[in-house]
Structure 1
């Protein structure tokens, strides 16, 4: 007798019947594209080579590599919870995309459970592993930069500008180290995120307590990150500069950057002393103001109380057609006046808006959240370490998705957001069939528009040398 399949007619159209079946289908065909990009980067092989696996080899069912792929690829496709792997347990796409095995074997192998993936996070948060996980993020960013160097206004031969900013992440429950933040109006962690605005790459993430000051740990973390980028990109310190918000222009952070000969520019909070220095320049030129509002720039020298010595400060004066008063703000920098006159310093600082846009994408496209709790057994430090790993793996997912976005921009000549890339290109239905020991994935018609251009672009991404 044939198997009976339950069905139900829709109320708006009795001719439409909904049936449930066990056919080998998926709605996440783009997961194979992400796996292809992840393999081309070589980051999983590099991690597997350097990670310390503390498990008993006789009881290992899932390699660290397959588990890391599971977490990163699922998050990139919008499945951000560890428990989602159980929901996708019988999906042939995810069986194939995350497994180490080849041939038909992945289709007959169980996927890792939520408990297994939770133990993965614990393993990666071990002190001997957490730096390796951070190195993997740098590996992904450097690889993507070398594969797709012509993104936006960036050129491969120009200096790299690193944007550093805080990214409040609201938390729920008893996450150790989180705290209520009055400015954010919620209980949060306050991680530092380092990105490259001109290219959209995320190169670093440092989890901090919810009550951490804006610049806390920045004085040690930024020089260390710059050194890692110098080593990975084979460049000297003159090829890097740091762009900062007003919360990071304290004496400790700026002194640390000066001590390491790192170029920087950042916004200063206005105060009475700065306004007094600006007062001689707050006069409009004679005559009727033009239709286009004007700007003036002036170099000043200023020493804040927390600074050991005076620094170069650029005053920017702006007209506001709806206001009698002029608007002023200040930038501090150690860039030399000859190569970086005031107008060039301002133009460079204004690129920071792109970094903020990419940070917004990170939070919305990845639904960035940190959920490791103390469970009554973990210390605050252990919870923080686990959530540090969760943060870095989310940045991995961003980078892989950003790489596919870059390929689409190159192949189509138009801009793509991460959400648009995932929803219009990667979230595609497919049916799997097995014949002559080969797995064939038949894509839905929705893939016909973009996949013929996407697949060749992904396959041509070269591996990172070395």
Structure 2
């Protein structure tokens, strides 16, 4: 327990500033709030370096429509974008956290457009300013640019980390990412499965690399595949253009309706996904649910069968793969179906199943988005805002959280390659980025004295960081 140090005036009065204290565990220690230029977030400089190397902020600023009066602009779109993305990457999730960090010298340096000593004399954008940024990004003029920026950030990273070599094949995972909301944000709805009000956005990631390439905000009562038939083909086309790779889409049972599958088939997009069980599928599987002769082995067994199936909503039969599983401790065989349009010659049933099972890695990356970035959307009706205005602002906020994930993930990949060990985003933030530092100003130069915690990982990370170069 900490005990505040008292002076001749007695106990500290309400609202009075605490200048020092002595911890009860050791009376020889005196802690003072001296006002020196110190910070616990020196990793924001590393994140700024990665963000600058990607070129995404510069590209956004050149493409976004800014309707503000040029004579009254105090904070550029670029500085505001850096503020939101870097703060969220470092764990400062709320927009009003920028007020908490208002006088932190390192944050002034990390987010500013200016050079030299100028950033230390500049004010940081307020919560109200950043709220207006979300309104600007969510406008009809700009939202497509923000979507494109996230996609380009992933494409840039892929190319730079492989020394410009384009991947031959990519697997695009599509999944829902329900986000709980508090209050009555426009477009949110109560969902019985989760027992709370939610938005129901879609998120797209690359299975092989863990990159987030797309996010689409939808109403809380949206169906699982709503808007997927137009959104997925667009993402695949842009990935084809940006990387030259053959993209295969992997989906779960909620996306296997005819509209989504037909949209991909019309554009020659390969896909595979799981089908929900029904009576027709159970009848189709029945002839294959028989144990082979002999005593069951101690280890589980599995069989795959290539079949055709036509759901009521499908205009014609499609290829399905029946997977039959035998477990030593279960008397009954288990079965499930996968639907795919992948070539039987190049994709035998066992290979289709193997690809589908790798979906778990994508779910793990989406889990990191929720755990490390604590995504929440809080824009509400204000003034003359319509429900669509609220949805647009919240979609922009969702995309900026995915930008933050991408910047963290890029550094994580460098660290993993250099150290040859796995890193979670939270572990990297706490052990590598949350490093204390003191800023010393002398002769118009700023020296950042890093804490001892930086000695272990920063040299390794800086050695690999230049590889995060932007495409030209």
TM above 0.5: yes
For 2:240 and 2:441, the matched residues in 1 are separated by 48
User: 1:208-357 alignment to 2 at 5 Å?
Assistant: 208-235=218-245, 239-357=246-364
**What is the TM-score normalised by the length of structure 1?**
0.96
For 1:79 and 1:426, the matched residues in 2 are separated by 13
Secondary structure of 2:157's aligned partner: helix
User: 1:377-416 alignment to 2 at 5 Å?
Assistant: 377-416=384-423
Secondary structure of 1:445's aligned partner: coil
For 1:33 and 1:83, the matched residues in 2 are separated by 23
For 1:209 and 1:353, the matched residues in 2 are separated by 26
Deviation at 1:14, TM superposition (A): 1.7
For 1:44 and 1:15, the matched residues in 2 are separated by 49
For 1:137 and 1:421, the matched residues in 2 are separated by 22
Question: Contact 1:36/1:459 (CA < 8 Å) preserved in 2?
Answer: no
For 1:183 and 1:430, the matched residues in 2 are separated by 46
Q: Which stretch shows the higher mean deviation, 273-282 or 353-362?
A: 273-282
Q: Which stretch shows the higher mean deviation, 43-52 or 221-230?
A: 221-230
Deviation at 1:464, TM superposition (A): 1.5
For 1:377 and 1:172, the matched residues in 2 are separated by 21
Question: Contact 2:161/2:467 (CA < 8 Å) preserved in 1?
Answer: no
Deviation at 1:376, TM superposition (A): 4.7
Unaligned runs of 5+ in 2: 1-16
**What is the TM-score normalised by the length of structure 2?**
0.94
**RMSD (Å), alpha carbons:** 1.4
Deviations 1:48-70 (A, max 9, x none): 11100000000001100000000
Whether 1:372 aligns to 2:344 is no
For 2:430 and 2:156, the matched residues in 1 are separated by 25
Matched length: 455
Deviation at 1:459, TM superposition (A): 2.5
**Alignment partner for residue 97 of structure 2, among 79, 84, 87?**
84
Deviation at 1:375, TM superposition (A): 2.5
For 2:73 and 2:342, the matched residues in 1 are separated by 54
For 1:320 and 1:23, the matched residues in 2 are separated by 65
**Alignment partner for residue 71 of structure 2, among 52, 58, 65?**
58
Secondary structure of 1:269's aligned partner: coil
Deviation at 1:320, TM superposition (A): 1.5
Question: Contact 1:198/1:351 (CA < 8 Å) preserved in 2?
Answer: no
Secondary structure of 1:265's aligned partner: strand
Whether 1:94 aligns to 2:101 is no
Query: Where does residue 180 of structure 1 map in the other structure?
Result: 190
For 2:216 and 2:18, the matched residues in 1 are separated by 51
Query: Where does residue 158 of structure 2 map in the other structure?
Result: 145
For 1:203 and 1:134, the matched residues in 2 are separated by 9
Query: Where does residue 161 of structure 1 map in the other structure?
Result: 171
**Alignment partner for residue 442 of structure 2, among 408, 411, 435?**
435
For 2:111 and 2:140, the matched residues in 1 are separated by 26
Deviations 1:314-370 (A, max 9, x none): 000001112100010000000011100000000000111111111110000000100
Unaligned runs of 5+ in 1: none
